[in-house]
Amino acid sequence: MFRRCQIPTLVAGMLILLMASSVMAQGNQPQDPSGAGTQPQISEAEMQKVATAFEQIILIRQDFEQALQRTEDAAERQQLQDDANKKMVQAVGNAGIDVDTYNRVMRQIQTDEELSQKFMEMTQKTH
């Protein structure tokens, strides 16, 4: 279902939505916006949880995009965005991880070729 060329684009879209929710949920907690520093290793279990969340987020995103096409009303579009963000955060939590972990792993997937390949294989196994 997910082709190699689609992963970076999808990841970027998912990160944008989840980062907005993460910022709202975290309030004024300090963060390192550069992402600099040593990247922690990702366990097989953690990767599987992220893959599970990612697959649910894809479905939520598809529903969101379809709903968005059915309205021109700015307030309704914002409500759809807010609802989609909440559902995505919930999907991440239901997978057994937090949004920060999800975003960290997804950023690593974008920058690490080997990790990206492994992630792609995990998501393809369930389809």
pLDDT tens track for 79-114: 999 999 999 999 999 999 999 999 999 999 989 999
Segments forming the whole domain that contains residue 114: 6-24+43-125
In terms of residues, how long is the chain?
A: 127
Task: Tell whether 1 is covered by a domain.
Answer: no
Cα gap 14→6, rounded to integer Å: 12
- Report if pTM > 0.75: no
* pLDDT band at residue 15 using 50, 70 and 90 as cut-offs: low
Q: Is there a domain that residue 117 lies in?
A: yes
How many domains does one find in the chain? 1
How many helices (H) and strands (E) would you count in the chain? Answer: 5, 0
